[in-house]
């Protein structure tokens, strides 16, 4: 707080006080300091009140945007990729693999054929961020899509390659998902990591064990996995049943 400044000189003391009477102040120093402090606080409160009106949250600000896609939304993206993309089968398969195995953009872009055992139906998942590596099963529709993709690209080391023959970059995958989201009229902007979240929520809603889900997604810390079960709508499905 700034020191009080009073526009009056102090009352003299000693002999000078007896011979030079001074005018009496209406307020003492303490009263003037209190008055200054109260006035300053009132001015500050008025300013903050006016500012708070400008910061009043709207309904849009309070709306929590979803961080994942539903299974049906993933299917819509794949259908759109098949129908309108120049490399429709490759793009749809990339989305399917990222969704089924909860892959990050960098993980699906770096995926190589040596990680896939088509004869055994197994996928060796290598995680980034020091995640836990694991072996996932490959189901029928995914197996057929990968077999067809292998026939289309018989000599490439990477599973998903661009026109130039190299692996698709994470930025390229991000742009692909963004374009498909706009083409399918998604109600909000989407990005590749939503496919990983979609996998976690789907498996959690299906009732799979949290510890098994942790290893499936490669989480070092189980707290990263618990969020999928905490937001699962099925955890309250038996509430209010007589």
- Catalytic hit among 76, 101, 104, 197: 104
- Examine the residue annotation and report whether 193 is marked as an active-site residue of this protein: yes
- Catalytic hit among 82, 83, 129, 235: 129
- Catalytic hit among 100, 196, 197, 202: 196
Whether 110 contacts 125, CB under 8 Å? no
CA distance readout (Å), 225 to 100, 107, 232: 16, 18, 12
- Examine the residue annotation and report whether 104 is marked as an active-site residue of this protein: yes
Measured distance CA(163)–CA(230) in Å, rounded: 42
Q: What count of Cα atoms within 13 Å lies in the side-chain half-sphere of residue 214? A: 12
- Examine the residue annotation and report whether 228 is marked as an active-site residue of this protein: yes
- Catalytic hit among 66, 124, 193, 208: 193
Query: Which 3-state string (H, E, C) describes 162-201?
Result: CCCCCECCHHHHHHHHHHHHHHCCCCCCCCCHHHHHHHHH
**Residue 219 CA, distance from chain mean position:** 16
Taking each helix axis from N to C end, the angle separating 193-205 and 71-84, rounded to the nearest 10 degrees, works out to 140
E strand intervals along the chain: 116-117, 122-125, 134-137
- Examine the residue annotation and report whether 174 is marked as an active-site residue of this protein: no
CA distance readout (Å), 72 to 75, 76, 141, 225, 241: 5, 6, 16, 22, 28
- Examine the residue annotation and report whether 191 is marked as an active-site residue of this protein: no
* Catalytic residue annotation: 104, 129, 193, 196, 219, 228
């Amino acid at each position: 707080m700034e020191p009080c400044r009073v526009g009056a000189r102090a009352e003299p003391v000693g002999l000078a006080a007896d011979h030079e009477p001074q005018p009496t102040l209406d307020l003492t120093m303490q009263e003037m300091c209190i008055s200054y402090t109260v006035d300053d606080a009132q001015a500050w409160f008025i300013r903050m009140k006016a500012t708070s009106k400008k910061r009043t949250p709207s309904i849009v600000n309070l709306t929590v945007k979803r961080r994942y896609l539903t299974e049906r939304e993933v299917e819509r993206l794949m259908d759109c990729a098949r129908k309108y993309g120049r490399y429709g089968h490759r793009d749809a398969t990339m989305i399917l693999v990222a969704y089924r195995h909860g892959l990050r953009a960098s993980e699906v872009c770096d995926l190589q054929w040596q990680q896939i055992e088509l004869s055994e139906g197994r996928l060796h998942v290598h995680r980034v961020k020091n995640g836990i590596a694991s072996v996932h099963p490959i189901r029928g529709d995914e197996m057929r899509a990968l077999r067809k993709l292998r026939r289309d690209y018989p000599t490439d080391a990477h599973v998903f390659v661009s026109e130039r023959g190299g692996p698709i970059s994470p930025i390229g995958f991000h742009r692909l998902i963004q374009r498909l989201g706009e083409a399918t009229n998604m109600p909000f902007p989407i990005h590749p990591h939503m496919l990983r979240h979609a996998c976690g929520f789907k498996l959690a809603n299906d009732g799979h064990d949290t510890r098994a889900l942790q290893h499936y997604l490669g989480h070092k810390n189980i707290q990263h996995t618990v969020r999928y079960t905490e937001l699962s709508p099925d955890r309250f499905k038996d509430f209010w049943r007589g």
